[in-house]
Structure 1
């Protein structure tokens, strides 16, 4: 067993009222506080006590928003009462609360020290608490700090990104990162759909000061947006072709651009 606060959930302060919380060294959640409310971007694995960690940082009323429905972003939803997720990813969320699925997920941690007091049985059988799906435009007014939700399907049908107007930061989740964006997964959207999402984000580049993805190095330069835009367009136009590879998340065509990359299925470009 390990101490969940110091080892499992690593906290770093990005600004006076913004924290990055690294979950098991695999995925990052972000806590944003305003004058009246707080917003937690993603709920992580839910193995470390993220609720307690958040409570140690702010006592403000909290909303959790899932950037998409994959387990490393939603399995911890059971620790929170006020959760939002895009309607299109609700099936993924529900799947992650099947005891069989959660039992299988736990196998990836079998050789890793777990947080002190953690009950695997309780985690596997954790209930799917009430959540509020959304679609379309959505913003969170935290009090002197507004965060806009941007629909960015591609990685999953209901993937979103978030823009913090105050800090001019764009939280890109699994949509754009220094590593390869996975578009080859079961349920991922065609590359043309992802292109539409990238166009939407790239149009914001001039008002973005930094990107904060859910995986890998942070912060990234805003120019990563246009790098992705130019690269994906070349793939769709047939000017670039990825190299077929078997990855840990399935087979696909892998291609790197200047500061980012994608794994995609060539037969599902459109």
Structure 2
């Protein structure tokens, strides 16, 4: 194997850790008394399993919030991974990319099979339970994980400061709103949001301000929207407060 990056490990409490992989993607380790969950595995340039094993001696379960390569690229270190299989084509696209195939051949690694995550499925870690909630928007198979004990919502890319809904695989703004509204009855059960690209916890206000901004966008209040460049392409973004938050969308929000 080539020299692998070592993520920056940031304790959230005595059994939850944030793994910041070079500010490119963020993973998490959540330990119970029986097993520990690894939530996402970054781009594949870090051995996330080895990092997790240095934090806890418990058996590990690998959970992917969605199928993009910066969230399941390190699955090669695990024997099995859980993911909503609506995102299987996205995951396979990353695995079958020529550069990934060349690396797999060169270093003798392979990706494990995926097992489907059902909406409402609970991962019992022993004293800590993670409830998977289907959260389509950024992708069709996006999930969030609710940890009621610690009052944390692990949000993947479903709730981030720059929410990407402009990708080919992204769903309409209305779908994202519906996913967030499904969480409204659970809003009093989490205080903290840990998403897939943060270096520090976010508060519940991220949920509130994002939902308001999505509804504002859906209503057509786009006079202050701006161009947004990504991967050499340009689309539109709907800014909202606090500063530097964006809903990034296709040219027509209803698309």
* TM-score, normalised via structure 2 length: 0.90
SS class of match (1:204): helix
Aligned residue for 1:192? 174
Unaligned 5+ runs, structure 1: 105-118
Aligned: 1:122 with 2:106: yes
Using the TM superposition, give the Cα deviation of residue 215 of structure 1 relative to its aligned residue in structure 2, in angstroms. 0.8
User: What's the CA shift string for 1:120-164, capped at 9, x where partnerless?
Assistant: 8636x7423222123322111111111111111111111111111
Using the TM superposition, give the Cα deviation of residue 101 of structure 1 relative to its aligned residue in structure 2, in angstroms. 5.1
1:212-227 paired onto structure 2 within 5 Å: 212-227=194-209
Counterpart CA distance in 1 for 2:219 and 2:137 is 18
Counterpart CA distance in 1 for 2:178 and 2:99 is 32
SS class of match (2:43): coil
Aligned residue for 2:221? 239
Using the TM superposition, give the Cα deviation of residue 60 of structure 1 relative to its aligned residue in structure 2, in angstroms. 1.1
Aligned residue for 1:108? none
* 130 and 182 in structure 1: CA distance in 2 versus 1, 3 angstrom threshold: same
User: What's the CA shift string for 1:160-203, capped at 9, x where partnerless?
Assistant: 111111100111111112x3101001211111111111212344
1:35-74 paired onto structure 2 within 5 Å: 35-74=33-72
User: What's the CA shift string for 1:200-250, capped at 9, x where partnerless?
Assistant: 234432221111111134211102111111111111122345635241243
Counterpart CA distance in 2 for 1:65 and 1:28 is 13
Using the TM superposition, give the Cα deviation of residue 267 of structure 1 relative to its aligned residue in structure 2, in angstroms. 2.3
Aligned residue for 1:102? 100
* 121 and 244 in structure 1: CA distance in 2 versus 1, 3 angstrom threshold: farther
Counterpart CA distance in 1 for 2:200 and 2:239 is 18
Using the TM superposition, give the Cα deviation of residue 70 of structure 1 relative to its aligned residue in structure 2, in angstroms. 0.6
Aligned residue for 2:85? 87
Using the TM superposition, give the Cα deviation of residue 72 of structure 1 relative to its aligned residue in structure 2, in angstroms. 0.6
* 215 and 160 in structure 1: CA distance in 2 versus 1, 3 angstrom threshold: same
Counterpart CA distance in 2 for 1:192 and 1:63 is 33
* TM-score, normalised via structure 1 length: 0.85
Counterpart CA distance in 2 for 1:160 and 1:241 is 32
Counterpart CA distance in 1 for 2:206 and 2:149 is 21
Please say if residues 226 and 239 of structure 2, whose CA atoms lie closer than 8 Å, have aligned partners that are also in contact.
no
More divergent stretch after superposition (197-206 vs 140-149): 197-206
Please say if residues 97 and 127 of structure 1, whose CA atoms lie closer than 8 Å, have aligned partners that are also in contact.
no
SS class of match (2:236): strand
Using the TM superposition, give the Cα deviation of residue 90 of structure 1 relative to its aligned residue in structure 2, in angstroms. 0.6
SS class of match (2:55): coil
* 180 and 99 in structure 1: CA distance in 2 versus 1, 3 angstrom threshold: closer
Aligned: 1:171 with 2:169: no
Aligned residue for 2:211? 229
How many correspondences in the alignment? Answer: 252
